[in-house]
C-alpha cells in the first residue's frame, strides 16, 4: 500500500524538530554528538564515506528503498518519492541502542530503537529518486552512521501479502558495539525511557512519537504499546515524588 509521495523533514505531533535536514547539511550533527558524549568513538568522514561506498557497490538491481522502523517514520528528513508499508524478516524492532547524547546523557543514557536479530518488523519503505540516491544517502549516513552502533544491510521488502517488492537499506544493530543494550531488563528499559533526555529530546518522546507514527499508519506494535503505558505510569509516579526524592 502506497502511503504518500514526496516526504521530507518532520512528520511530528508537536514542535519543531532539532534533528533536521538543515542540521545534517551543515555537517555539524557529529560535532553535537561529540560534545555531549566525548568518550564515544565517532566514525571519521573517511570511514563514513567508505561504508556508504561499500553499500552502493553491493546495491541490488532496482530502486533504492530505505526501511524506516523508528524515527525515520515520523522524521525522515531525507527526500523520497514514494512511501509504502513494508515488512522485513529476520529482524525485530527493539530498544537496544543506548545513547549518552541526543536523547540521553552520560549520567543517564537513553534508549532508541535498533533492529535486533530474530523475528520480523513492520515499517515504512521510502523510495529514493534515482538522481537523488547518492546525495540523500550521504545525508542519511551522517544521521545514522555517526558511531559504530549500526550495521547497514540490504534487506528484502515484503508487501502486505508477503510478496517481495524491492530491496531496502535497513540499519541493524551491531551487537559488538559498546552502545548495544539488548540485555537490559524490562524495568531498566522503562526507567531509561521514562527519565533520559538530551539535546534533541527525551527517550520517552521518541517512544511516543514512534508509537503514534505507527498508529497513524494502522500499524500497531505490541511492544511499543506496552512500553508506552509503563513509561507514562512511571513518569506519573515520578512527578508525584517530593523533590528531595528525585
β 7-9/150-158 pair status = unpaired
Phi, psi torsion values for 141, nearest 5 degrees = -65, -35
Q: How far apart are CA 191 and CA 98, in angstroms?
A: 13
The catalytically annotated residue of 17, 36, 136, 144 is 144
Phi, psi torsion values for 131, nearest 5 degrees = -70, -20
β 64-68/164-173 pair status = parallel
Give a three-class secondary structure readout of 87-143. EEEEEEEEEEEEECCCCCCCCCCEEEEEEEEEEEEEEEEEECCHHHHHHHHHHHHHH
Cα distances (angstroms) measured from residue 29 to each of 43, 66, 188: 12, 21, 28
How many beta carbons lie within 10 A of that of residue 101, not counting itself? 22
Q: Is 144 a catalytic residue?
A: yes
Q: Show the DSSP H helices in 101-197 as ranges.
A: 133-144, 186-195
Q: How far apart are CA 35 and CA 131, in angstroms?
A: 34
Q: Would you give the DSSP letter of residue 14? A: S
The answer to whether 133 touches 12, Cβ cutoff 8 Å, is: no
Residue 152: helix, strand or coil by DSSP? strand
Active-site amino acid positions: 144
Amino acid at each position: 500500500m502506497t502511503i504518500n509521495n514526496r516526504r521530507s523533514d518532520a512528520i511530528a505531533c508537536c514542535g519543531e524538530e532539532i534533528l533536521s535536514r538543515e542540521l545534517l547539511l551543515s555537517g555539524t550533527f557529529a560535532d553535537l554528538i561529540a560534545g555531549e558524549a566525548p568518550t564515544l568513538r565517532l566514525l571519521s568522514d573517511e570511514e563514513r564515506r567508505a561504508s556508504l561506498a561499500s553499500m552502493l557497490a553491493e546495491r541490488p538491481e532496482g530502486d533504492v528503498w530505505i526501511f524506516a522502523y523508528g524515527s525515520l517514520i515520523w522524521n525522515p528528513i531525507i527526500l523520497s518519492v514514494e512511501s509504502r508499508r513494508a515488512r522485513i524478516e529476520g529482524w525485530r524492532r527493539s530498544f537496544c541502542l543506548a545513547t549518552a547524547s541526543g536523547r540521553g546523557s552520560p549520567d543517564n543514557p537513553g534508549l532508541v530503537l535498533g533492529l535486533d536479530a530474530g523475528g520480523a518488523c513492520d515499517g515504512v519503505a521510502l523510495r529514493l529518486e534515482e538522481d537523488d540516491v547518492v546525495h540523500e544517502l550521504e545525508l542519511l549516513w551522517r544521521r545514522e552512521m555517526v558511531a559504530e552502533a549500526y550495521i547497514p544491510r540490504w534487506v528484502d521488502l515484503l508487501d502486505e501479502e508477503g510478496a517481495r517488492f524491492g530491496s531496502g537499506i535497513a540499519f541493524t544493530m551491531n551487537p559488538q558495539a559498546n552502545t548495544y543494550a539488548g540485555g537490559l531488563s524490562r524495568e531498566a528499559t522503562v526507567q531509561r525511557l521514562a527519565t533520559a533526555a538530551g539535546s534533541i529530546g527525551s527517550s520517552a518522546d521518541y517512544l511516543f512519537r514512534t508509537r503514534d507514527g505507527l498508529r497513524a499508519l494502522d500499524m500497531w506494535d505490541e511492544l511499543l504499546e506496552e512500553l508506552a503505558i509503563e513509561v507514562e505510569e512511571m513518569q506519573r509516579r515520578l512527578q508525584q515524588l517530593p523533590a528531595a526524592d528525585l
